[in-house]
A and B are shown apart, each in its own frame.
Chain A
């Protein structure tokens, strides 16, 4: 069965600093990988996804993620965070032909001035 691990429950970053959120997955075949963001009391918004091809994926709001098969990782990065980036971030894994997603436990991002 597939699984997703987000090792960091809570991360605090200064506004303007760089950000990296970690995500590790467990799956035998090539996974489909997603990052979603959830603002308080809201649903989830898709930031980016990886299915195949270029392992560096660009998303919305200046985010990017890199798929590293050797490390079973799909870390999310942003070079300079903004106060509006404060939210909960979820990594998820899916598989070809299976519409279900497995979510990580989430990482809460706090931005300090």
Chain B
């Protein structure tokens, strides 16, 4: 149980284009999902907290207009990197918390983004 998927697993795009990453909770409803960014050999950096039906809460320093988050249903959250640039290249990981035991996050497999 508590499986989280991400799609795509990797994506290459040209500078200036937008990329959408999906995060799904497969066997539970997630009232809250989180989006992280991870640079090589570093820890996870929380970008934003996504709650179903409401606006995402962004961490300090994260550009909300660049990283658009939509939590349209209890099983799906999307992260759109708008007008991507090479410095946006990174590993993006989402996590989700089930309604019970909300303090436990279950992570997706991650999406590697390379912007050329």
Question: Which residues in A have some Cβ–Cβ distance to B below 8 Å?
Answer: 32, 34, 36, 41-46, 49, 51, 90, 94-96, 98-101, 103-106, 108
Contacts and interface: CB of A to CB of B under 8 A. Distances in A.
Given A43-B108, A94-B103, A99 B42 contact: no
Interface of B: 4, 6, 32, 34, 41-44, 46, 49, 91, 93, 95, 97, 102-110, 112
B103 A103 contact: no
Contacts of B34: 99-100
Given A41-B110, A105-B43, A46 B104 contact: yes
Nearest to B105: A101
B107 A99 contact: no
A32 B109 CA distance: 23
24 contacts: A36-B107, A41-B91, A41-B112, A42-B110, A43-B4, A43-B93, A43-B108, A44-B44, A44-B95, A44-B107, A46-B106, A49-B104, A96-B103, A98-B103, A99-B32, A99-B34, A99-B49, A99-B102, A100-B34, A100-B49, A101-B105, A103-B44, A105-B42, A108-B41
Contacts of A99: 32, 34, 49, 97, 102-103, 105
A106 B36 CA distance: 15
A33 B103 CA distance: 10
